[in-house]
Amino acid sequence: MDAVPLIATADTDLLDDLLRLSAAASVRVNTAGSVDRALLSWPRSPLVVLGADLYPELRSGERPPHARFVVVARADRGLPGAPGTAGPAGPGNPLLLPRDENLLAGMLAAGGEPGRRAPTVAVIGGRGGAGASLLAVALALAGARGGHGTALLDADPLGCGPDILLGCERDPVDGRLGWDGLVDRRGRLRWSDVAPRLPGPAGISVLTWMHGPDARRGPLPATAARAMLESARQGCDLVVVDLPRSFGAGVTAFLNRSDLVLLVVPAQVAAVVAASAMVPRLRAESREVRAVVRGASGGLTADVVARGLGLALGADLPPEPGLERALTAGRRPADHPRSPLAGFADGLVAELTGVPR
């Protein structure tokens, strides 16, 4: 049998409920109708979901240890011989359906692809117009150049959208998805189900908002941010997040889960002052923060800017007139081998993915 979650129950009604949740989470499962059958695949299963009907028999015998084991009961039946079925789900209580359906769907989705987490880098501007979106696009292009399946998540509802910068906003995509169609969605989605419905050049899938006067845009709720980031981390080789200059619940969720956060700061006094106001919160919410300084010259060097912000210097990017020319001509920015921004992106992607350049 494959290493997929195991559902063990002889209760046909409970089995129907669990298979419905598995389908909603786009996860294949193995099933067993008895304890003996369950124990055959127990060691190979990343998640074991045991029905309340089999719990007494398993508890009375020798149960092998398992890192991810959960008992599930229908609320109208309870768990025979076990207290606490009316309390919140936890180590001493089973999951109850339908109350805990969303929680169980998330566990099934995570158990369907155990151990896989793509490195995640988030980019945020120290002031408006700092070039954070350009850097996010450059990192996504570097990921694709390196042969890494890359997710580019646009979390800025007021930005132009990385699909515009990449020139893929008009890509013909069947049933195209955007954040506006996902923020209220319940349950988990596999990235393999999402990616075909997203625009993007080869190797890149762009999740952004729809365009147009009737497009629904607004700050992302934490639930949507966490769900789609987890889906992308399980289904891709690299995740790049373009963040707005705010600290709402969705942005905080991205910061908490990113391996690296890049603060993009033009080498201007006003920009450094604006960026310095963000640093304490970025440090508090993030694992690692680095400064990416653009256009340094004279006495305001990149090292001076980074030291003034109290951050490690991630990059000293010189002025690059070719970026503006590329944007004006409708070409992809930072996609030329001589581009300093592209060179930095290639090096950082190699660092994050552990693949030498």
pLDDT, tens digit only, all 357 positions of the chain:
457 889 999 999 999 999 988 887 778 889 999 988 888 888 888 889 999 898 888 766 566 667 678 889 988 775 554 433 333 444 345 788 888 887 788 778 766 554 557 999 999 999 998 899 999 999 999 999 999 999 999 999 988 899 999 988 888 888 888 898 887 765 567 788 889 999 999 999 999 988 877 777 888 998 889 889 988 988 899 999 999 999 999 999 999 999 999 999 999 999 999 999 999 999 999 999 999 999 998 889 999 999 999 999 999 999 888 777 777 777 888 777 789 999 999 999 999 998 765
**94 bridge partner residues:** none
Rounded Cα distance, 205 and 329, in Å: 23
The CA distances from residue 253 to 9, 223, 228, 256, 356, in Å, are 36, 9, 11, 5, 30
Q: Which long-range contacts (CB under 8 A, 24 or more apart) does 319-326 make?
A: 319/294, 319/295, 323/134
112: phi then psi, degrees, rounded to nearest 5: -70, -20
Closest CA relative to residue 68, chosen from 42, 92, 93: 42
**DSSP 8-class letter at 93:** B
CB 191 within 8 A of CB 235: yes
Give the global pTM: 0.71
